[in-house]
Structure 1
Amino acid sequence: MQVREFELVRGKAHTGKKGWIVRFDGVDSLDEARQIVGSAVLVKTEDRPELEEDEIYSLDLVGMSVIVKDTGKLVGTVAQVFNFGGGDLLQVMVGSAENAVQTNSENPDSTPSRQHVWIPFAEDIVPDIDMESREMWITPPKGLLEDWKEKKKLQRRITAAKKVLHEMEQGHILEGLLSGDKLEKASLAEQIAGIDFQLFKHAMHSVSKQVDSMSKNVLAKSSLRKNVMRIPRETLMNHGEKGKNVFSDEFSKGREILQKSKAAIVLITNGSDSDIVDAEFQRLLNSFSELMKVEENHISPPFIIISPDNHVDSVRNYLVENDYFGFDNQKVWVLEEMKLPVVSLSSELMSKKILLKSPWEILQRPAGTGAIFSSLSSNKILESFNATGIEYVQICSLSDELVLGHPLLFGAASSRGVDVGIKLRKTSDKTENGFDLILSIDHLNKMCRDVAKARFSAHPEQHEHVEHVDGQWVAVQPEAPNSHRLSTDVTSVLDSCSPDKLCVMQIVE
């Protein structure tokens, strides 16, 4: 590389363009000027013009430590300074200063592989700079630093997921990360990171063996159990006004649990039309509001709603429009139901392959009501229950016989010291659709922390999909069931519950 020294004779800004028109001593012809086209022009530090008191050369920011003013926490080190027309933008490499600095401010793609965050060099965000200590203090607006943290978490999940996929011989779904545009690859990465691989691995092993289920005949055997409680339907649906004398101990205990914020409610909705869901919500939640009006010193229990992905936004909006029906909005969560990949039909475990709808879309289906335990754990709701002293949790599905937060149900489970209370209605020897369970926090912890307690079944389904064959994506259109949907039922809780820790609450006419 040849280095030549010139003296700058004069120069002026090129109006309307990001550049300057200059003249160098010794460059007197067009041919001589062409010889230096594309060259980098450098200036010795001592030759730079003196700045005003509040001015800083952008290059002098490189290498400075970036610290959050309110907390004193180090964010990282300025690696480069860019200006894309909207003001200077600092590229800050997160963490220590080692290997953070690069001076190629012309090429934003030449960044180090370390995690970085972008910080606008504006006075309200970077109010204080100390050139002597080489430190700047920032007051970042909400969300500015959170984005890189989420990206970092996503990258860690993807890295871990890749390892698991190769171990399970499911590496074919990673092919889409090697092709397609940026949005397609990002979408696939998010889908991969969103898979609960612990639950998925258990589901794959679970469906390969038959497990006896205690829950299949719980109603048929309920008459033989000692822990059976028969509750008149009118007592339950009329908020218990006509049955308080009969169930006074249970009502008293249940009211105490609710008033001391020891209860929580989890409602699992189904995939029915949104109008039907709204009607059920209105009945259920208005009924709950009425129930709480008769309870003194009531504090709103935590309320978790699990909905299909296409209903989540409408459910949230419906709650907001109706002022959360009396629930404390800080204690309400609306979660998307968990899904698991659909796998190909095969009697051999390692031959079951995850199906792809496209190279960048994993074919997934709802994992069933039993996936609620993984959802509560992964969203840190179980952690919140434990921290706030929750003792009993109602887990239920939409039905015309459902009553949310009834003190009689919580009291029945608590007064009998059981881990699981199951409400059943028997009419013409048939069990009502849906489920209504009261779980102790101990049993909920057990179910959430050990996915092996979930009982899975495989449901044959027919799905079009694509396969990667000899470097090409090939569409497959089956004429018969070609896949399994992996599903678990919430009544798996009964399989891990000792018979003497189960109470059947049978609703009678």
Structure 2
Amino acid sequence: MLRACALLCSSTPITFPPVQLFNPNNTSLHFPTFELSRPVSASTRAPCHFSLVGAGGRCSFTVRSTATEEAVETSSDSKLDLVEVGFLSGVHGLQGEICIKPNTDFPDLRFSKPGRRWLKQQLMGQDKIDEVELVEGRPHPAQKSWILKFRGLDDVDQVRQLVGATLLAEEDDRPELDDGEFYSRDLLGMRVLLKETGQLVGTVANVFDNGGNDLLHVLLDSSMEACNGSAKTNQLVWIPFVDAIVPDVDLERREMYITPPKGLLEVNMRADELSKKERRQLEWKERKKQQKRLIAAKKKLCELEQKHVFDGLRFGEKSQRSLLADHILDVNSTLLQKALQSIEDSSKKRWNVTEELNALRARESECTVNVSRECLGFDASEEKVGDNFSFLQQGQSLYSEGKVSICLVLNDHGTEQLEGESGAVSYLQTLLDDEQRFLKEDERACVPLIVVSPEHAIEDLRNLFQENDYFGFESEKVWFLKEETLPVVCSSPEEPKKHKILMKSPWEILKSPVGSGGVLSVLASHGITDSLSSLGIDYLQVHSIETRSHHINRMLVGFVSAKGAEIGIQVTEESEVKNLEMIFTLKFLKRLKGKIEFEAVMKMNSHVQMVEKEWVESVPTEPNSSEFRSDIYGVLGECSSPAKICLMNITV
């Protein structure tokens, strides 16, 4: 019987506090406290030793080195990718100098080299990033901090206003590391495999710098949990980041191979179920968390003058009141407020998709190209494709290198239906089974997949993927997201500027999908863009699922990459934009932050309302309410220039 390895402490144990983990499936993770030794000081980067005690006795390993993680921040003003390098902790002297606590392994580069920097501060609840010029910096003689001087700040009262701000620097300015050294954030999301067998162990969820050594916190794959006899899911284990245990790290393939000592992977794993007491504690904590979220959601709706939504909480059975609470929690108040503003701005000229695409098609630019549909196949020859063959090759290369993620969008609105032999779910299975029209089997493991669909189809989609072994995709890199919806609203003749959320029943809010633009909002609200970035993804391909036969367009992403564009669009000769096929760079999506535009569409909707303490059904005979729509093509205006938009016109 193997006994779990324990980390040997040669000094006072250090207990790690709770941390934010990279968790693609947004599942609740539970793991016990783990104690680590600190054999050398935190500032030392020289090789040190890490001791393990296990069934095989004691052994020592040379520790790998990683750089302190510098959190990535995107500036909407400068459109630069920035990293946090420290925070301003206090003033120094009377000449406008200020102290900074470093959060970087390169303080000389970040603090002594004059030039542009950025300060991030919280003002009125919003992050504000301002550019500053660093004049000089020097180490503090008595503390582990630096003293900085910024141009134009010569008074102690001026710099005192900056205390607590975060200093940012350009991410591209980070130095090259020596062999065997890695940036912590580059390791996040990496696949961990056994070198001997190639079996997937899991995914790197976090990296801990313990001063003398680094530790990987790895989220185990379900296959490893089964092998270890664990009845629990989402198990995490610690793996020392040392040469003897992690001999190979492939940044390009986003993989690392490990040779763990006997018993290492059993550390912190519990095969037994939670005790009754533990279950009660977890349930109580979950209820308290739910109550806090509900209070916050109700407060936001009150600010929007929608108190009538809460009427159903005073009536009905517990399950009905719980249903209404879920509906209240599901309302994206920020998005709703923006959508309501679109009604007030109804006189504003609306974005015309057809006009804009026709204008792009008519331009004489190297960013517009015509391609025959038969050239989109995976096996299309150079002779058939012609001058555009280099785009196809580049697209295939980006997919094989794991630089592209796919977002499949399903809907049952209009003429399409999700269920049935001719429905979108059936077509999705057909598409995923077809390597000629989708992706080769050996490409899928390194391609993250997002599926956006109506809420009622999520469970069926999960089952479909589980029954088909995720069609070759890594289960940790597959997300199922509910499409963005917003409440339907109406106004009264007496108060035309006041809009009221309609109720489908006393315990259900009447909602409608916002359309293709909601895909970008969903990705932002679930943090998918950041997760993809941590996986090394550069491009997101958005593809709508419909019953007409066509391919995943690899050439489009190659076209966008070759032209250095931010967006790529595929359209047909007939200007049909219903069948969505677009490419976005991750940098553009991070800058966009889910920002979308809305249009209010008048529709007829039956609803219920409370009149003199009685629920009354209202059945209209003419359009009585506004449903909000957002078109994904509306973000074209957010591009830095029209030259950053690639258009691929597909001919028959």
TM over 0.5: yes
Q: Unpaired runs of 5+ in structure 1?
A: 1-67, 74-138
Cα gap change, 1:297 to 1:367, in 2 (>3 Å):
closer
Deviations 1:435-454 (A, max 9, x none): 1000011121233x253xx1
Tell me which residue corresponds to 2:646.
503
Contact 2:522–2:594 under 8 Å retained in 1: no
Distance apart, 1:238 and its partner CA: 5.3
TM-score scaled by length of structure 2: 0.53
Contact 1:287–1:403 under 8 Å retained in 2: no
Query: 228, 244, 247: which is aligned to 2:368?
Result: 228
Tell me which residue corresponds to 1:59.
none
Q: Which amino acid in the other structure matches residue 357 of structure 2?
A: L
Tell me which residue corresponds to 1:171.
307
Query: 252, 274, 279: which is aligned to 1:141?
Result: 274
Structure 1 runs of 4+ with >6 Å offset = none
Q: Which amino acid in the other structure matches residue 355 of structure 2?
A: N
Cα gap change, 1:225 to 1:385, in 2 (>3 Å):
farther
Query: 348, 353, 357: which is aligned to 1:215?
Result: 353
What are the residue-to-residue correspondences of 1:81-480 with 2, within 5 Å? 141=274, 144=279, 146-209=282-345, 210-213=348-351, 215-221=353-359, 222-226=361-365, 227-237=367-377, 239-242=379-382, 243=384, 246-271=387-412, 272-275=417-420, 276-288=423-435, 292-293=439-440, 299-345=445-491, 350-399=497-546, 400-404=548-552, 406-426=553-573, 429-431=574-576, 433-447=578-592, 449-451=593-595, 454-480=596-622
Q: Which amino acid in the other structure matches residue 484 of structure 1?
A: S
- SS class of match (1:353): strand
Q: Which amino acid in the other structure matches residue 466 of structure 2?
A: V
Query: Looking at CA atoms only, which structure, 1 or 2, has the larger radius of gyration?
Result: 1
Tell me which residue corresponds to 2:134.
none
Cα gap change, 1:176 to 1:291, in 2 (>3 Å):
closer
Q: Which amino acid in the other structure matches residue 254 of structure 1?
A: G
Distance apart, 1:309 and its partner CA: 2.2
Q: Which amino acid in the other structure matches residue 489 of structure 1?
A: D
Is residue 211 of structure 2 the alignment partner of residue 71 of structure 1? no
Cα gap change, 1:322 to 1:338, in 2 (>3 Å):
same
Distance apart, 1:506 and its partner CA: 0.8
Tell me which residue corresponds to 1:46.
none
- SS class of match (2:293): helix
Deviations 1:102-130 (A, max 9, x none): xxxxxxxxxxxxxxxxxxxxxxxxxxxxx
What is the number of residues matched between the two proteins?
Answer: 370
Distance apart, 1:223 and its partner CA: 2.1
Cα gap change, 1:150 to 1:492, in 2 (>3 Å):
farther
Distance apart, 1:268 and its partner CA: 0.8
Q: d(CA) in 2 for partners of 1:140 and 1:319?
A: 27
Q: Which amino acid in the other structure matches residue 609 of structure 2?
A: E
Distance apart, 1:69 and its partner CA: 9.5
Q: d(CA) in 2 for partners of 1:218 and 1:321?
A: 43
Q: d(CA) in 2 for partners of 1:146 and 1:154?
A: 12
Q: d(CA) in 2 for partners of 1:338 and 1:203?
A: 13
Deviations 1:121-166 (A, max 9, x none): xxxxxxxxxxxxxxxxxx8729935544443332222112222212
Contact 2:321–2:507 under 8 Å retained in 1: yes
Cα gap change, 1:420 to 1:264, in 2 (>3 Å):
same
Distance apart, 1:421 and its partner CA: 0.2
- SS class of match (1:201): helix
- SS class of match (2:434): helix
Contact 2:521–2:594 under 8 Å retained in 1: no
Q: d(CA) in 1 for partners of 2:455 and 2:443?
A: 36
Higher helix share: 1
- SS class of match (2:327): helix
Q: Taking every aligned residue pair, what percent have the same amino acid on both sides?
A: 31
TM-score scaled by length of structure 1: 0.67
Cα gap change, 1:419 to 1:153, in 2 (>3 Å):
farther
Q: d(CA) in 1 for partners of 2:453 and 2:398?
A: 27
Q: Which amino acid in the other structure matches residue 463 of structure 2?
A: N
Q: Which amino acid in the other structure matches residue 443 of structure 1?
A: F
Distance apart, 1:172 and its partner CA: 0.9
Q: d(CA) in 2 for partners of 1:69 and 1:464?
A: 49
